[in-house]
Each structure stands twice: as C-alpha cells, then as structure tokens.
Amino acid sequence: MVKADAYGLGMSSTVAALEPVRPWGMGVATVSEGAALRGSGYADPILVFSPVPPTDFDRVANHALTPCLSDLASVDLLERAARRVGKRLDYHIEVDTGMGRSGFDWRDVTTWGPRFGNPEHSARPTGLFTHFHSADVDADATAEQWRRLGDVLAAVPISRESLIVHAANSAGALRLPDVAADAVRPGIYLYGGAAGPELPPPEAVAALRVRVILVRDVPSGTTLGYGATHAADGPRRWATLGVGYGDGLPRSLGNRGRALIGGRPVPIIGRISMDMTVVDITDLEHVEVGDVATLVGSDGAETITLEEVADLAGTINYEILTGFSQRLPRVWMDDGRS
C-alpha cells in the first residue's frame, strides 16, 4: 500500500525500494495517486481502493488502473469506459464484511453476485477482497470477517482460480499468516509503524531528524514560547530545533515529549511553535549548532517510536507518519531507510 505518498515517506522512492521483493502490484487510494504512479513508469497492476467518483472512470481507463468496485452502477460505468477506450479493464470486487465504509454487502451476495462473470464484458473482475476492521486487536472478529468472505467466494459465479483473493492489512498478515489468500496489503508495518499492541514490533525504518539551530544559556526565570508556559527554574542551557507543528510534529508534545541528542533523551519544553521547538540540554555536554536531534527513530541505544509520539498526541502512528509535511526533506539512506 503506497497511498498517501507511501504514508508520507514518498511514493516513488518506496516503490523503488520495494522492487527487489517483486510485489504483485501497488495499492493507492485515489485515481490521482494511481495516475501519478502510472505516469512515473510503473507497469504492474495499480489497485485504486477508494470508490471511484462517476466522473473519473475515463481516467481509470486511460491510465489502465484497476479500480476496487463497491456497487453495480460503478461496474456499468467501468464497462462503458472500457468500451470507449477499446481495452480490457480489470477490477476487484470489494466485499463489506463489517467495515461498513465501502464494498458490496456480504449479506446480499445472492442479489449482486449473479451480475458478475459475464465473459462478454470488457471490464472483468480479477480480484475479490475485504478489509478487516480490528485485525490489530481482535483475532475473533478478524476470523469472522474472513469466514464471511469465504461465504461470498462460494456464492459468486466466478471461478476461484480466476480471482486474486486478498484481505489482510499489516495486522491481518501478522495475525493470520495461514489464511488461504493470494495476496496481502501491508502498509504501516513496512514503514516502521507497529501493527498492533501484541504483534511483533517493526524495525524503526523511518526517522524524523532535525538540526539544532541555536544554543543558549539562560538565567533563572527566562520564559519560553507562546503563552510562556515554561520558565527556567535556575540557570539552564536550551537548544532550539528547526522543526515545529508546520512540519507535522504534533503541537501536543509541547512540555510533554522528548528528543534524542547524542543518544541521550532531552525534554521538549514550552509550546511547540510552527517552525521551532526547544529542548532543555542542561544535562548534556558538547551540544552545538548543527548537531542532529531525533524526534522519531533511534539514536544510539535510545528509540522514540511512532507509537510513543502518537500516544502523547492522542492519535495513532498512521496519523503521525502521514502528517509530516512536505517542508521536511525525505532523505533515503543507501540501505533503504528514510
């Protein structure tokens, strides 16, 4: 899954980094994302997971994208677009087994099922899938959704061999490694986010690192930041970091979060501003302008995980990762890390 610019890491670099494992295809959310990926020269299947707006089926056809369809009206629109461009177009059937936001309702398969499998059609179903709502925390609910998908597979008039069946996101793939699916759809775990509290932890492949841009020795009583919510309780040394909420560092880390400098944790003090964040480095020696501070990732033996930041910000690791703004340069290391 490389939607949302590969969860913020950068879609084209991610696709290039994944090439050695030869993925069957790539998953995006929107037609625009798919068109951009196709435009970059990517030749394998590109699945568009969000329902396609009726006005966008020509773009689907022109870029040879594989839409995921949730209703019969969309199947008709794709069929018309396929005839217009005179090409065969593939699509995947999404089955709603409990997620509720998209997909054909698994309970109504006797209504919609018979509409598929007409060999005369130019648009053809080549895949069938569902999406788990609680694979990160609930094995029973996940198994039940998988069972519902099985019921649908048994009821649609399409041969099993002609369909690519998939269901698992990162958490599903780690939780149900044995399901008889043909493909999985990993996202967050590839990008260094934990897939669930009891699931194997990922490698911290993505990091947020910034430079110290100013070091100051301040006397007792010096106030800091908007609202002056922090004041030095004695002579202190502060370092200003060139990062703020305008880069996607959650403002809620003000007076609560931490950074790593030289492998040592230092507290974030005062409110985070749009472009600057201040840490107290009184306990550290030899911090200079230009030194690197880590807000997410490992430095020496210490690690700040995406989950630590997400917990402090009252959100999930996905939102932290996708929230890093374009102002932050994405730097890919030779070993594939960013």
Binding site for ligand PLP (CB under 6 A): 1, 3, 49, 131, 169-171, 185-189
Tell me the torsion sign for CA atoms 163, 169, 172, 174. Answer: positive
Q: Which residue number, 188 or 207, has a Cβ lying nearer to ligand PLP?
A: 188
Q: Which residue is nearest to ligand PLP (CB)?
A: 187
Q: Give the 3-state secondary structure of residue 155.
A: helix
Q: Which residue number, 96 or 299, has a Cβ lying nearer to ligand PLP?
A: 96
Distance CA 81, CA 88 (A): 10
Strand partners, 183: 166
DSSP string for residues in 74-102 = HHHHHHHHHHHHT--EEEEEEEESS--SS
Q: Least Å distance between CB 179 and ligand PLP?
A: 14
Number of Cβ within 10 Å of residue 236's Cβ equals 20
Distance CA 297, CA 137 (A): 24
Q: Least Å distance between CB 85 and ligand PLP?
A: 26
The residue type found at 15 is: V
DSSP string for residues in 226-237 = GGG-EE-SSSEE
**3-state secondary structure string across 1-33:** CCHHHHHCCCHHHHHHHHHHHCCCCEEECCHHH
Q: Which residue number, 124 or 131, has a Cβ lying nearer to ligand PLP?
A: 131
Please calculate the CA angle 4-7-9 and round it to the nearest 5 degrees.
Answer: 110
321: left (phi over 0), alpha (psi -120 to 50) or beta: alpha
Q: Least Å distance between CB 170 and ligand PLP?
A: 3
Distance CA 177, CA 168 (A): 9
Active site residue 3: yes
Q: Which residue number, 65 or 243, has a Cβ lying nearer to ligand PLP?
A: 65
86 phi and psi, to 5 degrees? Answer: 65, 35
In the set 87, 91, 189, 226, the catalytic residue is 226
Q: Least Å distance between CB 73 and ligand PLP?
A: 21
Q: Least Å distance between CB 161 and ligand PLP?
A: 23
Q: Which residue number, 3 or 230, has a Cβ lying nearer to ligand PLP?
A: 3
Taking each helix axis from N to C end, the angle separating 11-18 and 31-39, rounded to the nearest 10 degrees, works out to 60
Burial 263-279 (b: 16+ CB within 10 A, else e): ebebebbbbbbeebbbb
Active site residue 245: no
Q: Least Å distance between CB 176 and ligand PLP?
A: 13
Q: Which residue number, 189 or 324, has a Cβ lying nearer to ligand PLP?
A: 189
In the set 3, 7, 91, 245, the catalytic residue is 3
The residue type found at 190 is: L
Q: Which residue number, 121 or 131, has a Cβ lying nearer to ligand PLP?
A: 131
CB contact at 8 A, 156 and 109? yes
CB contact at 8 A, 75 and 121? no
| Active site amino acids | 3, 226
